[in-house]
Structure 1
Amino acid sequence: MQASELITKEDLKEFKSELLTAIEKLVQLNGQGQSKKWLKSNEVRKLLKISPGTLQNLRINGTLSYTRIGSIMYYKLEDINKLLEGGMQ
């Protein structure tokens, strides 16, 4: 191995920094570009790991608001996050 091919600790630190920056950008893009604003019932059940009956109870007692279009119910992701954080009444 030649001296010019040696990897120093400084090289590794620089690589780590560049890699972390690239990963952070990807995570931010993925979070903004692919996040849904509205979720269907089956997506909410999977996210919260609850049964259809439990989701129905959350609707009935007003814990989780929803919008019905035809026979499909939609839930705001923002409302689900508030529920998980304990912010909904």
Structure 2
Amino acid sequence: MATEIITKEDLNEFRERLLSDIKSLLAGNPVQENTRWLKSYPVKNMLRISPGTLQNLRVNGTISYTKIGGILYYKYDDIQRLLDGNRIKK
């Protein structure tokens, strides 16, 4: 099992986003999630796939990503579009 290290910056970003979301909800405004970026671990959990499968999705161009200093980031909206585009309608 891979271990993900949470940095102080990650916690601070989470705190700021959480406070902003709570303030928006209290003010009656919908929460905006369109600029959210995810690391590999949450994406694997969200899609319920293995690291190898995630790599295959990157290699074949199914999923776009951004690499900064060895860390891969995935746009939340792209993941959501991938899920919606593969929805099976019965």
AA paired with 1:45? K
Query: Which aligned runs of 4 or more in structure 1 are off by greater than 4 angstroms?
Result: none
Identity, in percent, stands at 57
With structure 2 as the length reference, what TM-score do the two structures score? 0.58
Question: Structure 1 residue 32: deviation in Å?
Answer: 1.8
- 1:59 is aligned to 58
Gaps of 5+ in 1: 1-24
- 1:81 is aligned to 80
With structure 1 as the length reference, what TM-score do the two structures score? 0.59
AA paired with 1:79? D
Indicate yes or no: 2:39 matched with 1:40: yes
In the alignment, the residues of structure 1 paired with residue 70 and residue 40 of structure 2 have an alpha-carbon distance, to the nearest angstrom, of 11
SS of 1:32's equivalent in the other structure is coil
RMSD, aligned α-carbons: 2.2
Gaps of 5+ in 2: 1-24
